[in-house]
Amino acid sequence: MSLPDHRLASLFLDMLAAERGAAPNTLAAYRRDLEDYLDYLRETGTGALDARPATISGFLASLEERGLKSSSAARRLSAVRQFHKFLYAEGHAAADPTAAATGPKRGRVLPKVISVADVDRLLQVSREAADQAAPRSGAQLRAARMRCLIELLYATGLRVSELVSLPASAARTRERFLIVRGKGGKERLVPLTNAAQDAARAYLALLEARGPIGRWLFPADAEAGHLTRQAFARELKVLAGAAGLRADKISPHVLRHAFASHLLQNGADLRVVQELLGHSDIATTQIYTHVLDDRLKNMVRDLHPMSNG
């Protein structure tokens, strides 16, 4: 007797968590995409094990009718494709109906990048806020925390989820690097600058002055026990406004992009940047090659003997 669709979806999500080490946020995204697909199957009177290529085409057409962006539709198809591959591999289904499915065409989306000058401005304002706050006040601790977050993010290129969940020991290390556990439980080394280490130690000293601290470098009353990504993003936008920058152009992810792009602009190897960002596939990192294009054009313009400048 075949299992109901919701049970098959649960088995798939369990596999992602157990075998691939998918993070809670990743599992939540897969669950939303699969629920949307299963809703479509119910509406059409089809079960997941009875799906055919025409079923997948119909689902994609329904996404287009609802006006989903091509990037969102492609993500849904990816989740559905992996779900059906799992059903086929585990022997629940006799075939994979997504084998011939093609997703919507996606334009090349370049990451938002801010200039080195803008990052310097953001860092300067964060330092001033930490220096000017009243000693031993909550405002001083918050300002020191924000300075620490930004210095660490720009120095390491961490994902925001990796940054806010750093252990307190990250601020105590004497090494010039951190060992970070990223997607899929994979560990990697990321560099630490002197400024980032100084900011982390200064913030930790203020934190410890308030009493014993627990596991997290950025503790909070949130369910996870540490600062949330959303809270950091909101505080960062406030700081951006204080720095005279457009708040809608600044986010934790934009600073991660700035880390990668500025390294490449200064001659870093793409493979090194891939390693630092924790990308499993260099194709993901190649989105940054637009900055290399500009650097190479400028090099030809400035150095080629036949160039007119």
- Is 105 annotated as catalytic? no
- Is 159 annotated as catalytic? yes
Residue carrying structure tokens 């996870």:
224
Question: So where are the chain's domains?
Answer: 5-89, 116-298
Q: Which of these is catalytic: 127, 147, 256, 257?
A: 256
Q: Which of these is catalytic: 76, 145, 159, 229?
A: 159
Please tell me the distance from the alpha carbon of residue 145 to that of residue 294, in angstroms, as a whole number.
Answer: 35
pLDDT in tens, 214-248: 999 999 998 889 999 899 999 999 999 999 998 88
Written out in words, the top-level CATH class of the domain with range 116-298 is mainly alpha
Q: What is the mean pLDDT of residues 202-208?
A: 95
Dihedrals phi, psi of 187, to nearest 5 degrees:
-95, 145
Q: Is the pTM of this model over 0.85?
A: no
- Is 288 annotated as catalytic? yes
Please tell me the distance from the alpha carbon of residue 156 to that of residue 177, in angstroms, as a whole number.
Answer: 9
Paired strand residues for 22 = none
Indicate if the pLDDT at residue 96 is higher than 60: yes
Q: Which of these is catalytic: 142, 188, 253, 295?
A: 253
Contact present, 226 and 164 (Cβ < 8 Å): yes
Q: Which of these is catalytic: 20, 183, 201, 290?
A: 183
pLDDT at 300: 45
Q: Which residue has the higher pLDDT, 115 or 109?
A: 115
pLDDT at 104: 62
- Give CA angle at 52 (49, 53), nearest 5°: 140
Indicate if the pLDDT at residue 34 is higher than 90: yes
pLDDT in tens, 207-223: 999 988 899 999 999 88
pLDDT in tens, 126-165: 999 988 999 989 999 999 999 999 999 999 999 998 999 9
| Fold equal for 5-89 and 116-298 | no
Please tell me the distance from the alpha carbon of residue 26 to that of residue 107, in angstroms, as a whole number.
Answer: 23
Report percent pLDDT > 90 for the chain. Answer: 51
For the domain made up of 5-89, give the CATH fold.
Answer: DNA polymerase; domain 1 (1.10.150)
Please tell me the distance from the alpha carbon of residue 258 to that of residue 22, in angstroms, as a whole number.
Answer: 26
- Is 183 annotated as catalytic? yes
- Is 32 annotated as catalytic? no
pLDDT at 270: 83
Please tell me the distance from the alpha carbon of residue 86 to that of residue 32, in angstroms, as a whole number.
Answer: 17
- Is 253 annotated as catalytic? yes
